[in-house]
Every structure is written in C-alpha cells, then in structure tokens.
A and B are shown apart, each in its own frame.
Chain A
Amino acid sequence: MRFGVRKNKDLAAIDGRRISLDGAMTVLSFVLLILIVVIPVFMIIYHAFFYEGHFSPELFTSQLLDPGNLASMWNTIQIAFWVTLFGTIMGVFYAWLLGRSDIPAKGLMRALFNIPYMFPPFLGAMAWDLLLNGRSGYLNRWLVETFHLSGAPFNINSLGGIVFVELSYYFPFVFMQVVSALERMDPTLEECARIAGAKQFTVIRKITLPLVLPAISAGALLILISSLAHFGVPSILGFSQGIYTLPTKIYATISRSGGSFEGIRQGAALSIMLVVVVAVALIIQKKVLSAGSYDIIKGKSMRPTLIKLRGARIPLFILAVTTLVLIVIVPLVMIFLVGLVKAYGLPLIPENFTLNNYIKVFESSGTFDSIKNSLFVSISAGVVCMFLGTLIAYVVQKIKPRGKGVLEVLSVLPYSIPGTVLAIGVILAWSGGLFGISLYNTIWIILVAYLARYLSFSMKSSSAALLQVHPSLEEAARTCGASHTESLKDITLPLIRPAMVSGFFLIFLPAMREVTTSVLLYGPYTRTLGVQIYSLRDAGMMPQAAALGSVAILLIIVCNTIVTQITKDRKGV
C-alpha cells in the first residue's frame, strides 16, 4: 500500500532546503513588538529627559519637586494601598465563604460576585457620585431632610470614597484567584491537619490560608497595579474636590495645556514618576512574597468537607447579600434611574421619569459616532491582537528562538504600564515626531494604543493553549505526510482556535468600556463610547450620561452573554 512511487532522487535534495517559516515568524514578532511597544516607551523616556536633542533633566526635576505632583503621587499610593489591603481581605473572606462553607445559594452568589469584574468602574463611580455627592447626592439629601442633619453625612468625593468605589470593582481579582485555588487544593492536606489534632479554625489559619497565599498574592498584585494606574474613578470623584492621582494629574496637565507639546512633555515626565511607583510596588511585592509557589493540585479529586457555619450561617449570608446589593445592584439601579429622570436633582419618582434622555442621546450624532468608533477600535484591536498574540505565543512557546525571554517581557510589559502613560508614549511616537507619520486625532492612534495595551491578553490566552498542544500532535501530522506549514494549519491552529476566540473577547470587552487611554487620544470625531459618557457628564448632562451609560451596560451584558455561549460549546478540546 504505497502512495505512488518514490524515487530516492527526488527525496534526496532535502537537506539544506528549509524555507524557514519559523525564522520569518520570529523576525516578524520582534519587528512588531518594537513598533508597538518599544518605540512608545522609548519616546516617553526620551522626551522626559531630552529637549531638542539635548539632555535636559530640568523638566523632570521641576515636575518631581512640584508640590501638587507630589501630593497626587501620595494620593495614588494611599489609594492603592488601602484598595489592595481591603480588596485582599474582602476577596479572601468571600472566597472562603463561598468555597469552603455551607452558606446557601453558592452558585448564584459566585456568579454575582463576578459581575463587578465586567462593570466599567467609572460608571460605578458616576452612580455613587449621584448617590453620595457631598452637595447633591440623592442619598445624602434624603438623609439630611429626613434626619434634619446640618450637613451631608457621607462624602464620596474624598480619598475614602475613591477607595470604596475602586474596592468594589477590584476585590474580584483576589476573589476569583482564591476560589479557584481552593477548588484545586487537595482536601487531604486539610484532613491531615484534623487528624494531627487541629481544630477547624486552626486548620484554616495554619494550613488553608498559607496554601492559597500564592493565589492571594497574585490577586493582590493585580489589584495593586490596576489601582495605581486607575483613571476613571478618581477622575470622576476627585476632580471636583481637587483630589488628583498621578493618572488624573497627567490628564489634567495635558488637557489644561490644550494638547500642546509642552503639556505632553510634562505629562511624559509625570508618567515616569507613575512608572517608577508601579515598578517599586512590583519589586516590594516580589520581595515580600518570595515564598515561591507550590503544587497543591495533587491526588484524587475529592469534594472537600464543607465547614458548618451553624449559627453564623444566616448572618453571614445576609452580610454577603448586602455586599452584593451594595456593590452590584445599587450602582446599576442608580444609573438606570438617573437615565430616566427629567433633570438631575429631581426626586427619583415615576412622575419625573421620561425617555427624553435616551431620545436626546440617540438624536445626537456624537452618540452614534462614539458607538461606531468603539465597535471599530475594539473589534479591530481584538482581531489584530488575536493573531499577533498567537504569533508571538507560538514563537515563544514552540520555536523558542534565542531572545525568547525578551519577546515575552516585551509583550507582557505594557500590561504593567499604566494606560495613561501608554497613551502619552503613543502620542509622542505617532504624531509625526518619529517617522513623519502622524496619526494624531485619527482613530488609528487609539487603535495603536489599544494594540499595545491588550496584546498581552491574547498572547497569554494563546500561550496557555499552545502549552496544552503536545508536540507529538504536530509530529504525528508530520509523519502522516503533512509539511510543517500544513501541520500548523491543520492541527495547531484549529486546536488553539477556542483560546484565540476567547482572547479576542478578553480584549473586545474591556476595549468597549475603555476610557483611560482614549480620553487622552480622542479627537473631535474620534470619541469612543467611554469618552462620550465621560464628556456628557463633564458637561453637566448627568441624566444623558446615565442614559448612555445604561446603553453601554446593556451592550456589555449582551456581548458577555454571547462570549459565554461561544466559549461554552468549544469543540472537545
């Protein structure tokens, strides 16, 4: 059963004739990463320290010593510290409660606890501002009127308020990490401690918690970086009171200067400060938690023994439900209600409700443009990153060329660079300064920034999938008569397709609600959805902002449902 006649002659000339597909992919990866990541980063550093080709550190030192900037740096650090601390405690507590105790309605609550993760934090900030604004918040006014207080009891426009709102959107990072670690943990590790004579709570303290420490620290690190770089919440809650963090300060500096080059240079100098803060945080984190990670996923999977809460069961359940209502339901309801109200400040009663805001919002061409723009950049960024990330992941995981470490670092680097900083780098690189290519005020500059920002998402997703593709699968195809290219096309790509698709959505969803970078990059005709909501609110049109916010939320919910549907019926991988 031979396939045709093979002649030695035509098989002979193989050695040496290798069109290096691998080589081409490697080079391409390097070139793209240099364009997308290295150049913007380099431009920031260059412009912060050089002026017209000369080394001039004056700008940087003057920015560094400016008391306002130092104050915002201090704010940034304070907020990040408290958000990380409380977020970690909260995440671990609820992870344990839902993962290891016999609290009722676990499945539902777990789903609900994941919601804040997809909800745009700046909309949450808007909602809380509407409720607890020191002057005009609905709840504050109601409390003052009802209890005849002399002043507003709460003021969300404060450091505490910012911490509270960020907290409610960032604690799921720790929650999700710890829940999955608890799930994968070998229950005999805990049972052993019981046999050794330890009471239930000693086991939690001495065994369970230390074992999930790596998961806790990974989640905490995510919170820390996200909070340090966070723009939405502090900008919405802080501006009115003159509370700045580094990202909002950068934005304010640039927008005050009207987008002048001087303003952008100052922004670049501030960016360096922000990057330094993030870097220091990363280093401290690494030093503190150098305990290393250990394998806790072993043995036969057994359902862990659930801890009976007994008398505390109902109170803890109520606590969990209250938390959910507070962080999920209240902001959601608030945004929807204010979107219906005739004018901001009117009581939230049916007589004052109208659909006018929606009509107005949809009558303005700006809204449609913004939705269109957002869809365009998000889909484009998603698609491009999906392929680019897979390319780089393949080079790193399978080809393993010299310098693969560099590739890996470069593609993950933008993840720890705050969005604001990235935006400035992109402006400096692509507004004619470097190659004479000016994308400023076009939609493309936003796309370039998104690519840099989200590349690591798809790269991580594809990397994980590629690691699962055992080399023997490709080798089996080779021995079945498929060339290298064919085995890539027939075997590897189809196998990681689900990961690529989920990589796309990992990018598409956050990109749809993005505001941090786009707020610095948008031009007159290139507002994104986030920017549009942000500017409506800035212009004082609260109800309309809320109406558009409701639309955005609906859009996100719809997209998210589609994602879960798609990822659910992955084909047998």
Chain B
Amino acid sequence: MDQIVLRHVTKRFTTKTLGDIVAVDDFNLNVQEGECFSFLGPSGCGKSTTLRMIAGFEDLSEGEIELCGRPVSVKSKNLYVPPEDRGLGMVFQAFAVWPHMNVFENVAFPLRIQKMNRADIDKKVADALRHTNLTGLEKVYPSDLSGGQQQRIALARAIVTQPKVMLLDEPLSNLDPKLRESMRFEIKELQRKFNFTIIFVTHDQSEAMAISDRMMVCDMGRIMQIDTPENLYNKPVNRFVHSFLGESTFLNVVIKDGQVYAEGDMEHPLGLDIPDGAAEKMVVATRPNSIELTGGSDGYRTHVEKRIFLTDRTEYLVPVGGQMLKVQTPHRVSFAEGESCCVKLESPMWYPAEDEQAEKERLRRQLI
C-alpha cells in the first residue's frame, strides 16, 4: 500500500538576491508501507524542503500530499493539516531534545499532550526507552548526555506514539563516524520492531545506500532517479547520479570502425562492446574498483603513473590516451610507480558526450 504519495508537488520561493527559485519542481513519488526511503542530493537540491512539506512546516505552491491514504496538503482545495495533526514521528539533525526536561519527560511529552493516563505513559515510555537502550537514564537531563544518547532520546520520543510514518532529517550528521554506523543499524532495528515507514533525508550517499530500500536522487529541485541502491549504483541514468553515488572515473571515447578508442589514442582500442545507438563521441563511466589492473596482457596496455596509498586500498593513476584513469585495488595488489600494467574496464556505463556540457552548466549554476 502507498503510505506517502506526492503528486506534482512544487515549491517556489521568492528571495531578494536571486528572485524566484523553484526549490522543488514537480515531485511525484509513492512510498510504500514499511519502506525505508531516502531523499539524497547535494545541499539546495530540495530534499529538506520536500520533507518539511510532508511534515507540514511548509506550504505547497502546487500539488498535493497524501499520508496513509488521507490528503494532508492539497493546494487546489486549500487543504492544510497542521503538523501536530499529521500523526508523524520526526527526528532532526540537531537532536532538538528539550534541555529543560529530563529524558523521561522528553519522551513522555507526546503522550502527555494526548492526555494519556499515567500508568500507560509509564509503560509506553519504559518500552520506548528500552528499545533505544536508554533504560536507567530516565532522570538524567540531556545536557549530561553524549550526542549519540541525545539522538536516541529524539528517536524514543518519535517512536513512543507509534507513528506510521517516521521522518528523519539528517539524523546522523552531527554524530562521529563510528557512532553513525551503529546508529544506522539501530534505526533499522527499530523499524523492524515498530514497523513504520521511514523517509530519510541525507547528503551522504554511503549512508543512504546502507539504510534504504529505495531512494530518490535529486538535484537542483528536480528528481533525477528513483530506484534501489544497487540499481542506482550500477545503472545510474546520467552522469550526475553516477558521480554522486560512490567514486567515479570517466573516459572520453571515440567510436571508429566498430572499435572504441580513448580520446587521444586512436591506435590501441579499448576492447569494449559498443552499445546500441552510440554516437561517435561518448563518455564511458565506471568505478575505480571495478577496473581490473593486471600485469598480464589482457586489456589496454599502459603503466602506473602515480600510486597513492589510502588506508584501505591503493589508488593508481593510469594514463589512457591523454586521460587519467583512476583505479583502486586492495593493498595486496601492488604495482610500483612506472611499472607497466594492463587495465580492463568491466561493463561500464555509457553517457552522451554533451553530458559534460550539462555538467559544466550545472557547476556554473551552483556557483551563482
């Protein structure tokens, strides 16, 4: 069942310096019950605005939003349900736990607002605290707790009313990397237990991929692609999505006489299969660790120009024609600088060459 539905959702702002801006441009999406769905994109892509429209903190300029089958924002009918009546749970980046209340009071607040009786409150709060590993800290004030614990309070407060939909606005960005990883699992664990739908907003692609069932990649107020993490990573629809998810390395290629050559070296073909409908000039995109680097003779023959050790792998810059290809291998695959080698691109993605122009345009607009 579709739990969250956005139809033609558009948000326009008027700013003094930039004039009219379309922050969210005709968003259409359905999020299913029990799904963990991420909004991913660089800052200013419209992900946070979309979340705030779902929460009810922002009005729509056009379109409609449905939650659990109930319309909550419909611009054409001027329908608007205030945030407190949408039955959501929400966790913010800055934790937003109330410093003047102790842990128990923070978590009990939503229930007290509902005028629930004391015994039920005690039971539900204890339950929520148990699931977030906060039992025993009921009387402690947030200022005495660590960032991770504060974020757990925020989680406990969000789950205590057992909402159907949970909105998470960069909830892990203020935590240190180690904690971030373990909190991811805790959130998934809570979802399993309480069975809610998650909208997870983040600009961190690895976080989004690790946590989501499906995700939406957006840029400059437009949806680029909606799919599962694996499909997004392995079959990005355009160059932006390719470079935004994980590391990428690009090669400008020329197709001539049924062979693919790297621009700058028209003598040695790369040995790639030509996809249907390829133009003469294309861009080949792949991942640095999906390129095979061998000492044999299988593939394009070249040498190691530069070797950089990273903590968990070694990175090689390998010239292909006039261009540099980035290759990454585990430390145990070791080539010295200057050593000759062969590279082989494994099932790369193909993008039209003019994409590069679009990319430049994108950067330019970002600078403005």
Contact = CB atoms under 8 A, between A and B. Distances in A.
Q: Do chains A and B touch in the complex (CB under 8 A)?
A: yes
A197 B92 contact: no
B94 A186 contact: yes
A199 interface: yes
A189 B143 contact: no
Contacts of A186: 94, 96
B335 interface: no
Given A195-B83, A196-B161, A198-B113, A189 B96 contact: yes
Interface in B75-99: 82-86, 88-90, 92-96, 98-99
Contacts of B95: 298
Given A213-B100, A291-B100, A197 B94 contact: no
A213 B99 CA distance: 12
A300 interface: yes
A202 B113 contact: yes
B55 interface: yes
A187 to B, nearest CB: 9
B82 A191 contact: no
Contacts of B157: 192, 196
Contacts of A192: 90, 92, 96, 98, 154, 157
Contacts of A300: 93-94
Interface in A165-199: 186, 188-189, 191-199
B143 A196 contact: no
A481 interface: no
Given A192-B90, A299-B94, A197 B84 contact: yes
A295 interface: yes
B82 A194 contact: yes
A202 B82 CA distance: 14
Contact of B92 (A188, A199, A207, A294): A188
Nearest to A194: B83
Contacts of B89: 195
A467 interface: no
Contacts of B94: 186, 188, 298-300
A210 interface: yes
Instruction: Point out which of A186, A188, A192, A202 has the most chain B C-beta atoms below 10 A from its C-beta.
Output: A192
A552 interface: no
A296 B96 CA distance: 9
Nearest to B110: A196
A206 interface: yes
A291 B143 CA distance: 13
A483 interface: no
A323 interface: no
B244 interface: no
Contact of A191 (B96, B109, B113): B96
B57 interface: yes
Contacts of A213: 100
Nearest to B89: A195
A294 B99 contact: yes
B17 interface: no
Contacts, number: 78
A465 interface: no
B93 A294 contact: no
B357 interface: no
B114 interface: yes
A352 interface: no
Interface residues of B, number: 30
B14 to A, nearest CB: 14
A305 B109 contact: no
A551 B176 CA distance: 61
Given A202-B113, A295-B143, A305-B57, A195 B90 contact: yes
A207 B89 CA distance: 18
A211 interface: yes
Given A186-B94, A294-B100, A191 B57 contact: yes
Contacts of A198: 84, 109, 113
Nearest to B82: A194
Interface string B98-142: 111000000001100110000000000000000000000000010
A304 to B, nearest CB: 11
A202 B94 CA distance: 22
A298 B167 CA distance: 20
B100 A197 contact: no
Contacts of B93: 188, 299-300
Interface string A133-146: 00000000000000
A207 B99 CA distance: 9
Contact of B114 (A189, A197, A294): A197
Contacts of B167: 195
B96 A299 contact: yes
A35 B123 CA distance: 64
Given A197-B114, A294-B99, A299 B92 contact: yes
A196 B113 contact: yes
Contacts of A193: 98, 109
B84 A294 contact: no
Contacts of B86: 195
Contacts of B96: 186, 188-189, 191-192, 299
Contacts of A195: 55, 83-84, 86, 88-90, 158, 167
Contacts of B109: 193, 196, 198, 206
Contacts of A206: 109
Contacts of B83: 191, 194-195
Given A197-B110, A294-B143, A210 B92 contact: no
A294 B143 CA distance: 7
Nearest to B143: A294
Interface string B139-177: 001010000000000100110010000010000000000
B113 A197 contact: yes
A320 to B, nearest CB: 26
Interface in B8-56: 55-56
A452 to B, nearest CB: 37
Interface of A: 186, 188-189, 191-199, 202, 206-207, 210-211, 213, 291, 294-296, 298-300, 305
Given A186-B96, A197-B113, 8 more contacts: A186-B94, A192-B96, A195-B86, A195-B88, A196-B113, A197-B110, A197-B114, A294-B143
30 contacts: A186-B94, A188-B92, A191-B55, A191-B83, A191-B90, A191-B92, A192-B92, A192-B98, A192-B157, A195-B84, A195-B88, A195-B158, A196-B110, A196-B157, A197-B84, A197-B85, A197-B110, A197-B113, A197-B114, A197-B161, A202-B113, A206-B109, A210-B100, A211-B98, A294-B99, A294-B100, A294-B143, A299-B92, A300-B93, A300-B94
Interface of B: 55-57, 82-86, 88-90, 92-96, 98-100, 109-110, 113-114, 141, 143, 154, 157-158, 161, 167
Enumerate the 4 nearest inter-chain pairs by beta-carbon distance, A residue then B residue, closest first: A299-B94, A294-B99, A196-B110, A188-B96
